[in-house]
């Protein structure tokens, strides 16, 4: 099997290695701004995941037994999508908003079977509750630089772990790749990873 991860995310690569060592990484260059958010978060993340996988599909010559995994993770709070922060001030504002509140992390997953042309898409949602954060805690975290390339301006697997009071749902979804969901999706396609 020729398995391709359409993401350069170190976290996704590390997570996928937990269930298989046999895959290649071909990052997607899909422009996420092409997809407009119309209020339906699950549909939005699944569309983004599928679009990323389809963009990589065009670079694959050998399609026999080839599968592409596309993913997209967003943080949703009060009907807003909180993406990656533009800068440190934006990161501070995002974390200030999440402080003491519950938000949802959605990951869309798409699997393209290049042999059959079939696509399977699904999503996972995890509820995350942050403790009340002081401005000093937020500033210290923002200064670490860890927040700048992450949806919602934090990485649960990193130094922001201390912000998390509780989670309801899949931890790996918050990191960026819901392994149980991915395994089930492949299983529904008749494939064991």
Question: Per the residue annotation, which of 72, 90, 122, 135 is the catalytic one?
Answer: 72
> What distance in Å separates the CA atoms of residue 122 and residue 102, rounded to the nearest whole number?
23
Domains and CATH numbers, the chain: 2-188 (3.90.950.10)
72 catalytic residue (yes or no): yes
pLDDT in tens, 97-156: 999 999 999 999 999 999 899 999 999 999 999 999 999 999 999 999 999 989 999 999
Cβ neighbours of residue 21 closer than 8 Å, sequence gap 6 or more: none
**CA-wise closest residue to 123 among 166, 169, 87, 155:** 169
pTM exceeds 0.85 for this model: yes
Q: How far apart are the first and last CA of the chain?
A: 10
pLDDT at 193 over 90: no
pLDDT band at 8 (very low <50, low <70, confident <90, very high): very high
pLDDT in tens, 77-94: 998 999 889 999 999 999
**Per-residue pLDDT at 79:** 82
Q: Are 110 and 53 spatial neighbours (Cβ–Cβ below 8 Å)? A: yes
Indicate the DSSP class of residue 153. Answer: G
């Amino acid at each position: 099997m020729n398995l391709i991860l359409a993401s350069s995310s170190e976290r996704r690569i590390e997570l996928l290695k937990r269930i298989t060592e046999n895959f290649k990484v071909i990052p997607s260059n899909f422009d996420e701004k092409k997809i407009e958010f119309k209020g339906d978060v699950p549909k939005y993340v699944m569309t983004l995941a599928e679009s990323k996988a389809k963009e990589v599909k065009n670079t694959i010559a050998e399609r026999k037994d080839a599968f592409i995994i596309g993913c997209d993770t967003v943080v949703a709070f009060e009907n807003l999508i909180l993406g990656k922060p533009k800068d440190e001030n934006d990161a501070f504002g995002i974390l200030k908003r999440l402080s003491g509140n519950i938000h949802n992390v959605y990951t869309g997953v798409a699997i393209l079977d290049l042999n059959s042309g079939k696509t399977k898409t699904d999503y996972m949602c995890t509820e995350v509750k942050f403790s009340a954060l002081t401005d000093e805690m937020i500033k210290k975290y923002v200064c670490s630089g860890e927040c700048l390339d992450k949806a919602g301006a934090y990485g649960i697997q990193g130094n922001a772990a201390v912000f998390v009071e509780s989670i309801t749902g899949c931890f790996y979804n918050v990191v960026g790749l819901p392994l149980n969901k991915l395994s089930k999706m492949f299983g529904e396609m008749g494939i064991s990873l």
